[in-house]
């Protein structure tokens, strides 16, 4: 009888220990950002490339209000509704007390300063490719923005997805997967890849996802359903996006299409950010999109 009780208990204990080890948050090495000095001027370009206002500012904000990053926008998904947090430099409600290492762990590892997993609605699966110097520069710029004292609202996520520890298994599947497009690229195409696959995290919307919410990289940028709404994020591979490179640059600058239409939906907020990029970066994005394998 003791053996009948003991062995199942040992199996459960070993299984629990394995789960705890596999799902542990894995931050960067303590010295990963040592010696990196952030430049707020460079950081402003990282900020616009990352589309920070598109999620963390009020959706109706205009002008200087776009730099008030108090969060609050809601993002529905099959796993619940996620709410963008306050990332202003407010020391209590925002990230004013964060170090460069804290921001680097959040962006590239999906780990909070207190050691918890972030949900991957925060696109760290894409930001994992971001250079740490760019993170340091972004941190320097964020600290120059106006603090907002609005508390972050909690996500609306039910069981079992509210058990954040399980996200460690998700990260084993979908984090640190490297570049999607490899091979010999020009300097312009490499810059475009960095912006699209990394900082700009375009695949997070434009790539379909599997049942666990990971991007299906075999169908990179082939379009995907819009969670909680009708319609789809469009296919932006050459199979459907047949615009010239100049047309793509114009769209990312003014929001106007070659068909004399204008950008709408959440993409309008994205274009408000890409319009701040230097023309060379918008051209690099267009050059990259031209070499993505067509997806029907």
> How does DSSP assign 42-90, residue by residue?
HHHHHHHHTTHHHHHS-TT--GGGGG------EEEETTEEEEPPP-SS-
- Domain final residue, candidates 127, 146, 178: 178
Per-residue burial over 188-211, b if 16 or more Cβ lie within 10 Å, else e, is bbbbbbbbbbbbbbbbbbbbbbee
Q: Do 44 and 174 lie in a common domain? A: yes
293 shares a domain with 202: yes
Q: Do the beta carbons of residue 218 and residue 274 sit within 8 Å?
A: no
d(CA 13, CA 25): 20
Range of the domain at 244: 180-296
Q: Which of 178, 197, 220 is the last residue of a domain?
A: 178
**Phi first, then psi: what are they for 2, rounded to 5°?**
-60, -40
* Whether residues 36 and 168 fall in one domain: yes
Whether residues 42 and 133 fall in one domain: yes
Q: Which one-letter DSSP state was computed for residue 96?
A: T
Q: Is residue 5 part of a domain?
A: no
- Tell me the per-residue pLDDT of 35-83, one tens digit each, with 9 for 90 and over: 999 999 999 999 999 999 999 999 999 899 999 999 999 999 999 999 9
Higher-confidence residue of 13 and 140: namely 140
Instruction: Let me know whether 140 and 76 are in one domain.
Output: yes
- Report if residue 14 sits inside a domain: no
Strand pairing class (224-225; 74-77)? unpaired
Residue 85 — pLDDT band, cuts 50, 70, 90? Answer: very high
Q: Is 21 helix (H, G, I), strand (E, B) or coil?
A: helix
Q: In terms of domains, do 192 and 170 share one?
A: no
CB 253 within 8 A of CB 38: no
Q: Could you tell me if 290 and 245 are in contact, meaning their C-beta atoms sit under 8 angstroms apart? A: yes
Residue 184 domain-assigned (yes or no): yes
* Residue where a domain stops, chosen among 144, 178, 212: 178
Q: Between vectors from CA 130 to CA 42 and to CA 241, what angle results, nearest 5°? A: 95
CB 33 within 8 A of CB 135: yes
% of the chain residues with pLDDT over 70: 93
| Whether residue 12 has pLDDT greater than 60 | no
Domains in the chain, number: 2
Same domain, yes or no: 127 and 248: no
Shared-domain flag, residues 57 and 134: yes
95 in a structural domain: yes
Q: What is the pLDDT of residues 94-103, one digit of tens each?
A: 999 999 999 9
Q: Is the same domain home to 199 and 272?
A: yes
Q: Is 149 part of any domain?
A: yes
| DSSP three-state, residue 233 | strand
Supply the pLDDT for residue 28.
Answer: 96
Whole-number mean pLDDT of the chain?
93
Considering the domain architecture, whether residues 279 and 212 belong to the same structural domain is answered as yes
């Amino acid at each position: 009888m003791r053996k009948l009780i003991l062995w199942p208990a040992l199996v459960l204990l070993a299984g629990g220990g394995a789960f705890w080890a596999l799902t542990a948050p894995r931050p960067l090495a303590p010295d990963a950002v040592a010696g990196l000095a952030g430049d707020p001027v460079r950081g402003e370009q990282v900020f616009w490339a990352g589309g920070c206002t598109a999620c963390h500012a009020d959706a109706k904000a205009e002008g200087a209000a776009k730099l008030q990053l108090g969060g609050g926008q809601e993002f529905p998904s099959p796993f619940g509704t996620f709410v963008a947090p306050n990332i202003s430099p407010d020391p209590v409600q925002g990230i004013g007390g964060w170090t460069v290492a804290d921001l680097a762990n959040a962006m590239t590892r999906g780990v909070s300063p207190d050691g918890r997993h972030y949900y991957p609605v925060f696109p760290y699966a894409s930001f994992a490719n971001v250079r740490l110097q760019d993170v340091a520069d972004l941190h320097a710029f964020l600290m120059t923005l106006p603090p907002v004292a609005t508390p972050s609202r909690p996500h609306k996520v039910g069981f079992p997805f509210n058990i954040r520890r399980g996200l460690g298994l998700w990260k084993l599947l979908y984090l640190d997967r490297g570049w999607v497009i490899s091979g010999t690229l020009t300097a312009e195409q490499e810059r475009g890849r960095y912006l699209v696959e990394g900082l700009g995290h375009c695949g997070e919307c434009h790539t379909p996802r599997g049942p666990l919410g990971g991007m299906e990289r075999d169908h990179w940028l082939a379009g995907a359903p819009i969670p909680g709404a009708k319609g789809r994020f469009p296919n932006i591979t050459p199979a459907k996006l047949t615009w010239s490179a100049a047309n793509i640059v114009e769209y990312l600058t003014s929001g106007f299409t070659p068909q004399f239409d204008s950008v709408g939906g959440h993409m309008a907020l994205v274009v408000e950010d890409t319009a701040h990029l230097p023309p060379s970066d918008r051209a690099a994005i267009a050059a990259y999109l031209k070499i993505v394998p067509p997806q029907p």
